[in-house]
Amino acid sequence: MRRLTLVGVTGLALLAGVAAAQDAGGTHASAVDFYHGVAVRDPYRWLEDGQDPAVKAWVAAQNARSRAYLDGLPDRAGIAGALTWIEAHRSVAFGGIEQAGGRLFAFESVPGAQQPRLVAMPLAGPQAADPAAATVVLDPLKLAGDGSVTIDWFVPSPDGSLVAVSLSANGSEDGTLHVFEVATGREVEPPVAHVQYPTAGGSLAWTADGKGYWYTRFPGDEAPESERHFNQSAWFHRLGAPHADDVPVLGARDGVPRTGEIFLSNPEGAGRALASVQLGDGGAWQHFLLGEAGAEKAIGYDAGVKAATLARDGTIYGIAMKDSPNGAVVRFDPGKAEPAVLVPAGELALLTGAGERAIVRAGDSLWFAAIDGGPTRLLRVPLAGGAPETVATPPVSTVSELLPLPGGDVLYKVRSYLQPSAVMRWDAAARTSVATPLAMTTAVDLSGYAVSRLVARSRDGTAVPVTLIEAKGARHDGTMPTLLYGYGGFGISSSPTLVSPMAMVWLKAGGAWAIANIRGGGEYGERWHRDGMLTAKQNGFDDFAAAAALLKARGVTGTAHLALMGGSNGGLLMGATLTQHPDIARAVLSQVGIYDMLRVELDPNGSFNVSEYGSVKDPAQFRALYAYSPLQHVRAGVRYPAVLLTTGDNDGRVNPMHSRKFAAALQDAARASGNRAPVLLRTSAKAGHGMGSSLDEQVALTADGEAFLFAQLGMRLQPVH
């Protein structure tokens, strides 16, 4: 979704027509759309065109109004200072770890740096996985000192001599592929544009000899603007050859849909690469084996395989949902159509993150993880199958970034709410896990806080996990300032991870931090996801309201002391919650949210979201979308909570027009009701959906949001050290 292009309303065949009328203010035309015989009025259609001078002037006025309010808050500058101090007084952090040629490659986030950089360090020997031995491979700050350029992803060649990198600017996620020599930093061949967009991401896999690679690409300037964010395909490139000679190996001709999302991998240096293709953001998966000239379908949609890995001998191991939404571990042998079941589906759901190493092979074992309401467990099983062995990890923690190493060892990251992340190494010879030097530290003392796992009951009786983080011995008299966070979409789980700098500031100021594991996420696997998507989306909103009610019933907080926060799909959650329950909380912070569910699919990434949300073209899905779409449920005369909406001009995942239209509707409602609670819109010209934002941009955004909530809940900043 790079630059978003709005398709005209007539692009939906089901719309019978568009009528123009004057809105109440008499300034801008109001549209009326017809969906399956239902007329829906849209007074804010004029705010959709972000290039319109009138819209630009409106956004500038909104920003000026918001800045005047936010800059006048007593703790805004102090919160920014506290966030900056927390960032400056932590250790170096590492993520996205890969191994090749006897070295580990990783993103290195240096305290105070505007962007993470790419580094390499020894894999074995006395300085194995030692940050002190890390050397810089690529620092994006050398490309743009203001932090406007970021590394989207990287893939080292098998011998570790080269590294392929996608770079994008200003949070756009519009990636250009570069190949650098690791030893010198020299770029070895011309770059390739548009290998990644926010719609489907991007990826790359090297050949076993490191002399070529498969990579994703989107249509270039030869395609109409409306099609450049769709039809992702995979190409093969031989190093040293002109990119004009690259060969398309996987695309529409092979059954990749217009909204297909391609994830490439070749972890063991097989003769071919594995391409895992998802239908949109929430749809089914199919898998292909790629050669240098074409593709062969290896696993079809009907197998229900969501995560897979390719072994050197051509065997594919995967997690299949065909017979159970909890997933079974299966093996596809070359030449055999039906898989062998290695681990039958059990009571716990297996993790199947898109584009992640959800299942890996190391030595004589397969490694994967199971999730239970948010926290996860690490499991291993012999290649021949059998009962999985649980590898000991801390309670209420998350395991991620599984990385097989030569000799059967495995690296993995462990995260929890009150302990910084640590990278562990499974020693295959000793059959135990040991700590590596890749452990993060923070200067903020969190020893005085505790984590509780609670259960709320949703409207239909479903048990919904809620995590509460608060000071030990906190009084539950209904007055503690509490922030409740939720997401609930795309099978993405809100799992344990070290509380953010924002949460640290919040806790130190005497507040409580809560996370609701609502349906639509993956906290109980695919069934939890399915129960909160498409026409069942309302379940997630009910779950979130139940979590808020639980916190009040237990005396943790009350309406006057409760704030809500969510972003992206979580922004939709904020919009639906405040329009359905306007008296649920005192304040709402909603970031890069989706608010007009009847228009979302007209944008490129919205088309990819159809498999998750549904389409207005389908009568039943339209009824569900219309029933909860936040924009259409703002009512004049209703007193809504104080609201801060944030967005970025370069957001290719959620069109900023959603925030503009929703802000205008809420502001009109506030005027009609005489409600003096502020409704603010903050739009950044240097940000997108949040990916790739500079540290300064992140601090400024977080400080604005937290200062807003502090002011609404009557909180005052306290020292964080």
Q: Which residues are catalytic?
A: 568, 689
Decide the pairing of beta strands 305-310 and 316-320. Answer: antiparallel
Tokens of 123: 């894999």
* C-alpha dist (Å) from residue 714 to 89, 586, 659: 28, 11, 26
Nearest in space to 313 (alpha carbons), one of 368, 210, 367, 383: 383
Cβ-based neighbours of 281, under 8 Å, separated by 6 or more: 261, 490, 608, 609, 611, 612
Tokens of 78: 């102090």
Rounded distance, CA 667 to CA 673, Å? 10
* C-alpha dist (Å) from residue 359 to 276, 292, 633: 13, 25, 43
Which amino acid is present at 70?
A: L
Which own/partner pairs from 583-586 qualify as long-range (CB within 8 Å, at least 24 positions apart)?
A: 583/559, 583/639, 584/545, 584/548, 584/559, 584/641, 585/484, 585/548, 585/559, 585/641, 586/559, 586/560, 586/561, 586/562, 586/641, 586/642, 586/712, 586/713
For residue 35, the surrounding DSSP H or E stretch is strand 29-35
Rounded distance, CA 493 to CA 495, Å? 6
Nearest in space to 551 (alpha carbons), one of 417, 454, 458, 472: 454
Rounded distance, CA 17 to CA 289, Å? 46
Nearest in space to 264 (alpha carbons), one of 204, 187, 312: 204
Rounded distance, CA 470 to CA 476, Å? 11
The DSSP bridge partners found for residue 277 are 262, 286
* C-alpha dist (Å) from residue 416 to 97, 371, 514, 718, 721: 19, 14, 14, 24, 21
Rounded distance, CA 430 to CA 432, Å? 5
Report yes or no: 14 and 36 within 8 Å, Cβ to Cβ: yes
Please report the DSSP string for 512-531 in residue order.
EEEEE--BTBSBTBHHHHHT
Tokens of 683: 């739009």
Report yes or no: 652 and 198 within 8 Å, Cβ to Cβ: yes
Rounded distance, CA 389 to CA 367, Å? 10
Burial class for 6, CB neighbours closer than 10 Å (0-12, 13-18, 19+): middle
Tokens of 106: 């990783």
Q: What is the dihedral of CA 630, 636, 638, 643, to 10 degrees?
A: 50
Report yes or no: 720 and 444 within 8 Å, Cβ to Cβ: yes
Is the backbone of residue 99 left (phi > 0), alpha (psi -120 to 50) or beta?
beta
Please report the DSSP string for 447-479 in residue order.
TTEEEEEEEEE-TTS-EEEEEEEEETT---SS-
Nearest in space to 401 (alpha carbons), one of 99, 139, 92: 99
